[in-house]
Structure 1
Amino acid sequence: MNETKKNFTIGVLPQPKIGSCSRRFAGSFIESPDLCPIAKQVLSECGGLPIAISTVGRALQYKSKEIWKNALRQLRKATPDHISGLKIDVYGKIELSYDCLESEEAKSCLLLCCLYNKSSYIPIEDLIRHMLGLGLFKDIESVADGRNSVIASIDILKSCFLLMDSKKEGCVEMHEVVRDVALSIASKSENTIVASHGVKLKDWPKSGVHRQFYTSTVMTSSGIDNRRDGTKPKLLLVSCTDASSIPPNTILDGMEKLKVLEMRRANLESILPSLPCLKHLQTLCLEHCILQDVSVIGELQTLLILSLRNSDIKELPSKIGYLSNLRLLDLARCDNLLKISPGVISSFGKLEELYMGGTSVRWMAWEQGKWVANMILLELLSIRHLTTLEIGLLVLIPEIIQENITFFNNLERFKISIGSQYAFWDVTSCENHLRLQHNSDDVWSEICDLGLRKLQS
């Protein structure tokens, strides 16, 4: 792993501030006569490090004396031999905070965040799609349920200071020290994470890596040596430096158990024929890629999530209609996408989320002096489980709206542009948008008159 090493500072609090800091995160109840002696010993183990006090304090907040005693024992025995310098002082505290998480989904979410490079934004939407594909949620019935579970997990992790808010909307960040400790935790579990960034493909992954579960790399265009020692990963994330990068044909060898495959910025024309071997795949994201004919994707009938966002495709062929279990389809910013074969959209009877902003698909046509809906738009309006829609329409056709009031009022999340079909939005944006390009007053009046209450809000 050829990552650039950099120095960073972790401040140490003076003694007078340690008490107030600990009360802030653990609560004033730690001053009770019964708990105070143990709490002082635990805080002593934190060495005055704010990141340690905050993570440990929040993890043990409102916990019993017995749990505090057990925490003290864990802190005193935490002696990792592969983390050096000041990081070793923080290791046990962050590990304790992780162990105290009561939500297995929150733990899985944290480990997935380790796959992102240091100091990078972590898109929440990526976490949602990956966790859904890996089947890490319990008792969910929809993509929306999964999204809510991820957001709840992120809130838990932020409250424990294991994740941080990001300046970029729809993203979170992870402190460099937390990431290193979390990677160390993951390396000891059955579901090993191997994260390699900034390495040449031929050097990744290193031989001798076993029990590989998650693998991630930011690749150069040098090619990848597919030595995996018989491992069967469930998630593979590959990001090249530019869309002209051509991964070797063998990159998916030994990957039959994959549930999540994400490849970005690559020419995948030679890779697509290998996709049918992925019989367990549930999330497929081929983004910013050169793809051309994607018919073969239709053979992946276990797919729940398909994203071709920002990729070079001209047609969504009829074979894609075989994906009858699809719950989320993202074709946003595929600006060369002109045609969707008849019957494809209507075959997605379970589809819940559709992202089509910034495509060249013609949803309507000008015939005999008026705008009429094309068949593809009528197919879209027939999907009864759709709750999320991103789309650009040239005009608002009142007759079509009147016949499909229920469809539009069922939308919980939407980004809709009227007046331009090429409108697009940042994938990380969480807010609903209604963009009126031309004659906005007239269009708004029509929306109000038609009773589109969700769009009005």
Structure 2
Amino acid sequence: MDLVMGAMGNIAPKLLQLLRDEYKLQKGLKEKVQSVSDELVHVNALLRKVAEVSWDQLDEQVKIWLDQLREKSYEMEDILDTFLVRVEGPVPSDKKDGKLKCKLKKKMDSLFSLFSKAKARHDIAGAIEDIMKQLKEVDERRARYKLDDVVAKAAATSRIDPRLVAMNIEVNKLIGIEKSSGELSNMLSPVGNDSTGKIKIVSVVGVGGLGKTTLAQAVYDKLNPTFDCKAFVPVGRDRDVKIVLRYILIDLDEKYMDVKYNILDERKLIKELQNFLRSNRYFIVIDDVWSTETWNIIRTAFVENDSGSRVIVTTRKREVASMAEEVYYLQPLSDDDSKMLLYTRLYGGEDKCPLNHPAEASEKILKKCGGVPLAVITMASMLVGKSREDWYDMCKSFYGGNEGQQIHDTEWILSLSYYDLPLYLRTCLLYLSVYPEDYLIEKDPLIWKWIAEGLVEIKTGTSLFQRGEEYFNQLINSSLIQAVESSDGVIDSCRVHDMVLDLIRDLSKKLAHHNRPMKQTQEDDDMGTAKVRSLVVLGCKLDSWFLHPSFKLLRVLAIEECSRASAEDWQGLRHLGNLLHLRYLGLRETRISELPEEIGKLKFLQILDLERSGVRLLPSGVCQLTQLLCLRGNHFTKAPDGLLKKVTSLEELRLNIDNLDDESKRQFMKDLGNLSQVRVLSIYGELRGGGMALQSELVQSLDNLHKLQHLRLVDYNFDGEDDTCK
């Protein structure tokens, strides 16, 4: 995934996995595998050095070398993964077969397995030889291009700054905003004490990162209590207007969350919105509109009802702004406000600035930021804790005659911040380029995707998810992603500012050919789908869509917020059992009612996320997914009998057990005690109907779960009420 590393970071651990006795490599091959692993250590060290240099500053010959190495890295990983898949053995026989048929099938499977594994071990021997040859060529090119002269640096933090949320509130709502907030409020205020009157639409226009959204939010929070109803909806580029209209309705009244409103077209949504607004005094903010066409459609919904309704539209396009009755031109921060913002982010306030603060460098940096709050905040996050020498080095990068001088100042500052990140964080940040603009990205599913992609490094004493949380926190501290709090004050989501999104999308374009699978048939090789490793589908219609059988090397399949005319009888996942490399399967908020039994073939599957999907009963094949780390269903997603006999590596489990009989429930509760790594556990159903035996098994199991952090037990049928224990 990374511009430089490709899949190199994933290869060494898989090579070490081959050294285990269970894989029974041919004589002499273990030594070769160890030799390849040792060589990769040196290659990876060099790649980390190269990665510290901006891509645009690398020599063209070095770029060619990196492109070739990156492609080879994916080929190497595919070779190793294919071997690991083949030696795992066949899927267990179907329980529906008769006893005699099962015995015969088991013997045939055993014979086939022995033959298949022997052939796989022979093939891997040739593959290791090929990898050694390729690495030798890599080493020769390394010497030719003198890449060891590249200098590296790295730094990171691992906890969210505890002052971050409070500082965001102070910075975004106080520093430099009083004047503009007052002026915009006055433009929206009625004349005199008369609260009735015509609707007024005011636009806020300014460059990206100037704080248009922050200003609109501040005024919205200040004025909305005086209105009957209110809505604050982001638009962004290329956003489906139908989605925007529906979000406005949902903000106005939660009844519009009902799925029956999903099928309405633009015309019917506008009519529904007009009918609702006609009898209410409303205050609506439409944030970040990019085109006059989009604004023309949205604006038709705002009916005149002579009640003094107000609308704010923010945009960076003057042609959009000019369509409003009045335009507020947002100005950059003053020098004093910029200085206060920088010092607040660095030290907690201007009065806390240390005596050894590099004032001269600070002035140059603030001048470069040009009064753009996003630039100041990003620069402060990058400089916190740095030495005086680092400050002056930063100034030299501004005026050193490099290509950065030709780029817009804010974009240049953001790119500096990107290259200041440790290599592993850059990779995780680039992954966010798959999401649309202004998309609310939930933290937990994002971290699980990082894990499935192999982007999270193993750290002794820390689970992969906890390590991923550290990555998430570090990105928040860098100000390159924006933290979003839940209603109870927990940071559970994030957004990416559109300027940051532009940056990482531009960088990701250089990865357009990073997927290099082993060739299957010529037909597969001719199809782009055979090269896909990750498929993320967001907010699409699935009625005619299906998973193509050529997706054989897919690691991540996420189908989220997708709609269908019916949740029943959909064959889109009928080839799911062919995805033997799959690590992540997510169907969040998607109308899919069932999973194929063939899911049991996916031996490497680590995450199965069905939250807010339509799946009500898991197939028995899920019981074969021994590498599952996360199994997240809905409160009505039923567990298959015997699930936890083999599935014992779970860190997160969320299921309903009402479909199980009393004996199976007791066994389920007993098996919970084997989940030694579980952190999050949510069990739904009739939990107390099984009597003391069931409760006793549960209590004993909970006593063994030493890593448990979140427990939720919900009994729907006790005394006829929903009884929840958190």
Q: Which has the larger radius of gyration?
A: 2
Contact 2:657 2:685 in 1 (8 A): no
1:281 corresponds to:
582
- For the residues of structure 2 that align with 1:145 and 1:352, how far apart are their CA atoms? 9
Higher helix share: 2
Q: Secondary structure at the match of 2:543?
A: coil
Q: What displacement does 1:105 show? A: 3.9
Number of residue pairs the alignment of both structures matches: 377
1:63 corresponds to:
386
After TM superposition, the structure 1 = structure 2 runs for residues 144-223 of structure 1, keeping only pairs within 5 Å, are 145-168=463-486, 170-188=492-510, 192=511, 209-211=512-514
Contact 2:609 2:633 in 1 (8 A): yes
1:232 corresponds to:
531
Distance 1:161 1:10, change over 3 A: farther
Distance 1:307 1:227, change over 3 A: farther
After TM superposition, the structure 1 = structure 2 runs for residues 19-418 of structure 1, keeping only pairs within 5 Å, are 19-27=339-347, 35-76=358-399, 77=402, 79=404, 88-102=408-422, 104-140=423-459, 145-168=463-486, 170-188=492-510, 192=511, 209-211=512-514, 229=528, 232-242=531-541, 245-250=543-548, 253=550, 255-264=551-560, 265=562, 269-287=570-588, 288-290=590-592, 292-313=594-615, 315-333=617-635, 335=636, 340=640, 342-356=641-655, 359=656, 361-363=658-660, 365=662, 374=665, 377-378=668-669, 380-385=671-676, 386-396=678-688, 397-409=691-703, 410=705, 411-418=708-715
- Percent of aligned pairs sharing the same letter: 19
Distance 1:162 1:316, change over 3 A: same
Contact 1:232 1:257 in 2 (8 A): yes
Q: What displacement does 1:31 show? A: 7.5
Contact 1:41 1:72 in 2 (8 A): yes
Contact 1:46 1:53 in 2 (8 A): yes
Amino acid in structure 1 at the alignment position of 2:681: L
- For the residues of structure 2 that align with 1:439 and 1:338, how far apart are their CA atoms? 17
1:202 corresponds to:
none
2:311 corresponds to:
none
- For the residues of structure 2 that align with 1:130 and 1:309, how far apart are their CA atoms? 15
In the TM superposition, what whole-angstrom CA distance separates every residue of 1:176-221 from its partner, at most 9, and x where no partner exists? Answer: 2222222223334xxx3xxxxxxxxxxxxxxxx53369xxxxxxxx
- For the residues of structure 1 that align with 2:381 and 2:643, how far apart are their CA atoms? 50
Q: What displacement does 1:298 show? A: 0.8
Amino acid in structure 2 at the alignment position of 1:377: F
In the TM superposition, what whole-angstrom CA distance separates every residue of 1:333-367 from its partner, at most 9, and x where no partner exists? Answer: 4x4x5562x333322122232111xx5732455xx
Q: What displacement does 1:413 show? A: 1.4
Q: What displacement does 1:97 show? A: 1.4
Q: Secondary structure at the match of 1:25?
A: helix
Q: Secondary structure at the match of 2:378?
A: helix
Q: Which runs of 5+ in 1 are unaligned?
A: 193-208, 214-225, 366-371, 422-435, 445-454
- For the residues of structure 2 that align with 1:384 and 1:67, how far apart are their CA atoms? 47
Q: Secondary structure at the match of 1:332?
A: coil
Q: What displacement does 1:131 show? A: 0.9
In the TM superposition, what whole-angstrom CA distance separates every residue of 1:227-261 from its partner, at most 9, and x where no partner exists? Answer: 9758834322113445x5231453x63x4332211
1:197 corresponds to:
none
Distance 1:313 1:355, change over 3 A: same
2:321 corresponds to:
none
- For the residues of structure 2 that align with 1:300 and 1:246, how far apart are their CA atoms? 25
Distance 1:58 1:184, change over 3 A: same
Contact 2:685 2:715 in 1 (8 A): yes
Aligned match of 2:332 in 2, 9, 12? 12
Amino acid in structure 1 at the alignment position of 2:409: D
Amino acid in structure 2 at the alignment position of 1:348: V
Judge which range, 158-167 or 26-35, deviates more.
Answer: 26-35
Contact 2:645 2:671 in 1 (8 A): yes
- For the residues of structure 2 that align with 1:352 and 1:308, how far apart are their CA atoms? 16
Q: Secondary structure at the match of 1:272?
A: coil
In the TM superposition, what whole-angstrom CA distance separates every residue of 1:85-135 from its partner, at most 9, and x where no partner exists? Answer: xxx331011111122123x44333322333222222110011111011012
Distance 1:400 1:158, change over 3 A: same
Distance 1:46 1:160, change over 3 A: same
- For the residues of structure 2 that align with 1:402 and 1:151, how far apart are their CA atoms? 34
Q: TM-score if structure 2 supplies the norm length?
A: 0.46
Distance 1:79 1:384, change over 3 A: closer
Q: TM-score if structure 1 supplies the norm length?
A: 0.70
Contact 1:78 1:91 in 2 (8 A): no
Q: Secondary structure at the match of 1:55?
A: helix
2:104 corresponds to:
none
Q: What displacement does 1:24 show? A: 2.3
Amino acid in structure 2 at the alignment position of 1:125: D
Q: Secondary structure at the match of 2:343?
A: helix
- For the residues of structure 1 that align with 2:384 and 2:614, how far apart are their CA atoms? 51
Contact 1:13 1:48 in 2 (8 A): yes
Q: Secondary structure at the match of 1:309?
A: coil
Q: Secondary structure at the match of 1:114?
A: helix
- For the residues of structure 1 that align with 2:644 and 2:607, how far apart are their CA atoms? 14
1:222 corresponds to:
none
Contact 1:128 1:146 in 2 (8 A): no
- For the residues of structure 1 that align with 2:530 and 2:355, how far apart are their CA atoms? 52
Contact 2:611 2:632 in 1 (8 A): yes
In the TM superposition, what whole-angstrom CA distance separates every residue of 1:132-188 from its partner, at most 9, and x where no partner exists? Answer: 10121222479x723323332233222232222225452122222222222223334
- For the residues of structure 1 that align with 2:413 and 2:597, how far apart are their CA atoms? 50
Contact 2:433 2:508 in 1 (8 A): no
Contact 2:530 2:552 in 1 (8 A): no
Amino acid in structure 2 at the alignment position of 1:258: L
- For the residues of structure 1 that align with 2:698 and 2:557, how far apart are their CA atoms? 36
Higher strand share: 1
